[in-house]
Structure formats: C-alpha cells, structure tokens
A and B are shown apart, each in its own frame.
Chain A
Amino acid sequence: METSTITTTTNPIDSKVQKKSKFKFFFRKLSKSWTGMLGFGIIIILIVLSLFGQWIAPFDPMDAPLRDRLLPPLTDGHILGTDQLGRDILSRLIAGTKVSMIIGLATALLAGVVGTIIGVTAGYFRGWVDVVLMRIVDVQLSFPFILLVLVVSAVLGAGLTNIIISLAVGGWVIFARVIRSEVLAIREKEFITAAIATGVPKLEILVRHILPNIFTPIIILVSLQMGTYIIAEASVSFLGFGVQPPTPAWGNMLNEGKDYIFGSWWLITFPGLAIVLTTLGVNLFGDWLRDTLDPELKGE
C-alpha cells in the first residue's frame, strides 16, 4: 500500500515538500541555539535597516542645522542625540548600516571568489603552481592585515569601490589557505578515486565532486570574515582613508566624534556600539552555521 502511494506522487509536489521541510529544518535547528538566534536576529535587523533605512530614519542624515549641534540623547526627538554639525546620530547610524553591509558583503564575496579560485587551483593541481601560490600567501600573511589595507587604499584613493578592493586584496589569503586545505582533504577521499576510476575528466571532477564538497566551509568562512571586514572598514575610515565624510559611515563617525569625547560621549559611543553589535551578530551566526553544518551535514 505504502509504496503505491509513494510512486503515484508526482515529482513537482515532491520537491515542493522537500523545499518546505528544508526551511523548517533550518528554523528548527536555529531555535535550539539562542546565540544563533541572536546572531540571526541582528543580521535580519541590519538587512532591514540597510534596505529600508531611508524611510525608517527619523531625520535626513545629511541635514545639518547648526543650532541643534551636540544635543544629548533624547532631546527634541533626537533619540541618540546630534553631532557637532547638528546631524541626527540615529539617522546617520542607519545610513551607515548600508555602507557597512555593502562593504562587508561585497568584500567577503570578492575575497571569497578570488581566494577560492586560488586555493582550489593550488590544492587540486599541486606541483609548482601550489608552491608558488602558497609562498605568495605566506608573504602576504606576514604583513599585518590592516597595514596592507591602509597601504592599498592610500594608493587607490578613497571611495566605496576602492575600499572594497583594498579590503579584498588584504583578505583573499585567508580564503586561499583554508580552501586549499579543504581541497587537499577532499581530493584524497575515496569517492574521488572512484570518479577517476569511472573515467571522469580531471576538470569535471573538480567541478562536480570537489566544489560541492567545499561549499559549506566557503559559506562559513564568508559569514565569519564579514565581521572582520566591517571592523577593518571602520578602522580604515577612522584613520581617514576609507569612506569620506560627509557620507555617513561608522568609522568616520568615530573619527569625527573622538574630538568631542570628553564633552559629548554619545558621538563616539553609538557608532562604536553599532560596530560591536554588528560584528557580534555576524560572528554568532557564523559560529552557529559552522557548528551546524560542519559535522558532515548529518540531518540533511
């Protein structure tokens, strides 16, 4: 009886059911970990803020009525107060969310793609290609990350695209290293030998057998590195090389606020908190993702 009901189920319905249960599976897993939930919640809030920020923000982040300068929090509708030019800090933070998210995501994607390509090439083809690429990685890893980003962004000049490029130039090595070691582990697996024995061409083994099996570490690494890039962007902007004022970014808000740190603490506190919370959220979610996905995707 049972088998007959299974066979009569048509395919599209079947796959729909499966998709739904995958979502359910994700949320069921997530609900078991409060840190994962917290991280996921923060990320959702950040995404909403960066997508719909301009309608949520109570004031125009660029509007600077000088008579309202340095208002403390909770005065005249300025929930987090105003800065030295009278701009609403909450509105500027919300506008800065977009910048941070774009930079974090774009850098992680760019560095991830470049680093993955290089790591896979080194790990799969081995030989002199591997030696050359990994020595380059070694050399770059011996430089402090933030210093390298500063140098590159000083050369390229300020601007959103340039800061993304310089962060990616500094960040691809991590991806290359981690992905290479993943590939090294996978290529020794017996199913790769089986694919060779079947007669699958070398490049196809890479695409069909190795890449799908390193997808999980890539995703985990992207989510964890995003936090690093958001902090790095803030540091670079703080030092004046990154996103230029008056465009609101958390880093340059810190920079401008530091001169008023004794008189008006709110200028520097709230951007700092935003950076901390964002990084915390991204990292909590990334950690949860790693813990859930890493042990061989058992439940799936």
Chain B
Amino acid sequence: MTLLEVKNLKKYYEISQGLFKPKVVVKAVDNVSFSIKKGETFALVGESGCGKSTTGKTLLRLTGTTSGEILYKGKDLLALSAEKMRSLRAEMQMVFQDPYASLNPKMTIKQILMEPLRVHNKFQPEERLEKILKILEIVGLSKEHLDRHPNEFSGGQRQRIGIARAVILNPDFIVADEPVSALDVSVQSQVINLMLELQKEFGLTYLFISHDLSVVEHMTDRVAVMYLGKIVELVDTEELFANPKHPYTQALISAVPASHPKEVKERIVLKGDVPNPANPPSGCTFHTRCPFAMDICKSVVPALTEIESGHITSCHLYTNNKEEK
C-alpha cells in the first residue's frame, strides 16, 4: 500500500546576481518522482548538495515547492490550507541531522516533549507526563533527565530526544534527514538500532536521507540515488548493492570501505568535481564524470526507464540508444 507518492516534484531557487545580470535558476530538485510504501524504509542517497535534504523538506512543506504533487494517503499536501497541514503534521514528523541545532537550548526536555502533545491536543494534560516518561524510557533516557536542558546531554542523547519528539505523537511517516551523520560511529549504531526498534513497535514508515551507504545497506528497503537534483537509479536495497546499474551508483558503491581486510574491491574513481548546480551539464548531467560517456549523453537527457522489474535507472547504456556507441 502506498503511503506517500511524489510526482514530478520540482524545487528551483532563483539567485539574483545583481541588478543588471539575469537571475540564475538552481534546480535543487528537478522532476523527482517516487512512492513510499507503508511500513518500509525508503532511502534517498547522494553526495552533499544533490538535493536529497531539500526533497525531504519539501515533503513536509518545510520549504516551498516550485511545482509537482505530493500525495499523502491520497491527499495532495501542496493543496492543503496551512491550518490543515499543521494538524496533519501529527502524522508526519522529522528527525534532523544536527542534534545540537534542532533542540531549543532554552527548553527543558520535558517542555520539548510536551510541546507536540500540547499543540495537537493529544491526551488529557494529566496523562501527558506519563506518556513522556514512557517515550523517554523507550529511547533509553530516564526520569531524572526531564528538567535538564539540551546542552547537558551528549550528541547521541540529544538525537534520542529528537527521535522521542518525533515519535511521541505516534506518527505514520518520519523523514530522517541524515540522523546519524553528526554522531560518533560508536553512537551511530545505537541510534540506528533504536530507529529500527521503533519502526517495529509503531509500524513507522521512514524516508531515510543519507550519504552513508553502509548505513543505508543495513537499514533500508529501497533506495533512490540522486545526482544533481535528479533520481538516477531507484531499486530495492539488496539489488542496488548486488547489481548497480547506473555508472554513478557503481562508483558510489565501490567507494564503500571493504568489510574485510583481505577483500579486494575494484574502486571506480570519478574524475572531476560535482558540476555547479546553477549551470548543470547538457544532456545527462553525469556525462562530465562518467567513465562510459558516449556522444548521445552530451545532448539527450536519458529518461528514467524500468530496465528490469522494479529496477529503474536513467542511463543511455541501458536504452535502445546503446547501438549508437
């Protein structure tokens, strides 16, 4: 069952360069479509600046959208009034990347966790504290922490508080924007396991935004790989790691460190840098760095096509245009 469907989502930023120069349009999210099934963990993967975080934020209407449709349980989120959207937020929550910035430094943990219950008018006021204590216990904190401020906690503990804030309303859908990238490796696994446990317990659906492929392999069901605002490959996680199709994905996966010292990995090193998103290359945006680039890649934008069942990618290598090589 589809929980969330995104159709042709676009988010363009206009950057003015001065009075007499034309405005530059940066296509942060360019025609992105995907759907997320209920109960799964869907990953958005890509280098920094590829538009994955922007995509996550547009889904929750935390930033404006240029065009497109976001259907949540069949309702178009972009058409909802501000007040309707606000009450719907009880069902869709977010876990932020930086636990040092996403908690109000002036609030106590009790106030932080009370806020969602209060603004959505959940439970009787007397029951709320009980609920808070329960959720604190689930995320591994305790009663003594209630009256403390965020700066008295470690990064991992703060992220647990952030997660507690997101799940306390029993939401259906959570956007997790690089929830562990700011944490120590030793703490990362704890937080990831906590998220997996919560998913089991509450039947959560995650949109998991990350650049860390080993984390993605460990905890997600399906993956969309993004490059310069576009999805270049979308497939089940297992299949992606076993059989990556798009040259960009292949390069990304080859960059994951080997899990065994004797394992020999073939490393595909991409040349050059990510192009300036304000001035993306013509045709396939990846052709400037692609080891298999052909003539056609410079002029024709490859369409997302299903090359095997459930395996979608946008690359001329797999379309009929291949013969032209």
Residues on A facing B (Cβ under 8 Å):
3, 6-7, 14, 189-191, 193-201, 204, 208-209, 212-213, 296-298, 300
Chain B residue with Cβ nearest A211: B106
Residue of A6, A7, A195, A197 near B104 (CB, 8 A) is A195
User: Contacts of B151 on A, CB cut-off 8 Å?
Assistant: 298
User: In this assembly, does B217 line the interface, its C-beta being within 8 Å of a C-beta of chain A?
Assistant: no
What number of A-B contacts does a CB cutoff of 8 Å give?
Answer: 64
Q: What string of 1s and 0s marks CB contacts (under 8 Å) between B82-111 and chain A? A: 000011011001101010011111110000
Are A197 and B94 in contact (CB-based, < 8 A)? Answer: yes
Residues of A within 8 A of B86 (CB): 199, 201
Q: Report the stretch among B65-73, B114-122, B231-239 that lies at the interface.
A: B114-122
Interchain CB contact under 8 A, A199 and B94: no
Are the CB atoms of A198 and B101 closer together than 8 Å? no
B106 touching A212 by the CB < 8 A rule? yes
Instruction: Note all chain A residues with C-beta closer than 8 A to B104.
Output: 191, 195, 209, 212-213
B37 an interface residue at 8 Å Cβ cutoff? no
A300 CA to B106 CA in the complex, in Å? 10
B224–chain A nearest beta-carbon distance, Å: 21
Of A7, A189, A195, A212, which is in contact with the most chain B CB atoms at under 10 Å from its CB?
A: A195
Which chain B residues lie closer than 8 Å to A199 at the CB level?
86-87, 89-90, 116, 119-120
B89 near A197 (CB under 8 angstroms)?
yes
Asked if A197 meets B115 with Cβ closer than 8 Å, knowing A7-B143, A190-B102, A213-B104, the reply is no
Task: Verify if B165 is at the interface (C-beta below 8 Å from A).
Answer: yes
- Say yes or no: A198-B165 contact (C-beta < 8 A), given A191-B103, A193-B62, A296-B105: yes
Asked if B106 contacts A194 (CB within 8 A), the reply is no
Q: How far is the CA of A14 from the CA of B103 in the complex (A)?
A: 24
- A199 and B115 CA atoms in complex are apart in Å by 9
Find out whether the CB atom of B103 lies under 8 angstroms from the CB atom of A194. Answer: yes
**Interface assignment of B77: CB less than 8 Å from any CB of chain A:** no
The residue in chain A whose Cβ has the minimal distance to the Cβ of B99 is: A190
The 8 Å CB contact of A197, one of B60, B107, B144, B147, is B60
Cα A198 to Cα B115 with chains together (Å): 8
Q: Are A198 and B144 in contact (CB under 8 A)?
A: no
Residues 100 to 153 of chain B near chain A (Cβ within 8 Å) = 101-107, 115-116, 119-120, 143-144, 147, 149, 151
Nearest CB on B from A241, distance (A): 42
Residue of B nearest to A204 (CB): B119
Q: List 10 A-B contacts (CB under 8 A).
A: A190-B98, A190-B101, A194-B162, A194-B165, A199-B120, A201-B119, A208-B115, A209-B104, A213-B105, A300-B149
Residues of B within 8 A of A189 (CB): 101
Distance (Å) between the CB of A259 and the closest chain B CB?
Answer: 55
Q: Which 5 residue pairs of A and B lie closest in terms of their CB atoms, listed nearest first?
A: A199-B89, A190-B101, A212-B106, A197-B94, A190-B102
The answer to whether residues A3 and B116 also contact, given A190-B98, A190-B102, A201-B86 and a CB cut-off of 8 A, is no
Q: Which residue of A lies closest to B168 (CB)?
A: A198
The residue in chain B whose Cβ has the minimal distance to the Cβ of A196 is B62
In the bound complex, how far is the Cα of B151 from the Cα of A199, in angstroms? 24
Roughly how many angstroms separate A134 CA and B28 CA in the complex, as a whole number? 32
- How many angstroms between the C-alpha atoms of A223 and B120 in the bound complex? 39
Q: How far is the CB of B23 from chain A (nearest CB, A)?
A: 20
Chain B residues in 8 Å Cβ range of A194: 94, 96, 102-103, 162, 165
- Closest-CB distance, A189 to chain B (whole angstroms): 6
A93 to B62, CA, bound (A): 59
Which of these, A3, A190, A300, contacts B144 with CB under 8 Å? Answer: A3
Contacts of A298 in B (CB 8 A): 151
One digit per residue, 1 when the CB lies within 8 angstroms of any chain A CB and 0 when it does not, for chain B 42-70 equals 00000000000000010010100000000
| B residues in contact with A297, CB < 8 Å | 105
What residues of A have a CB within 8 angstroms of the CB of B87 in the complex?
199
A7 touches B144 (CB 8 A): yes
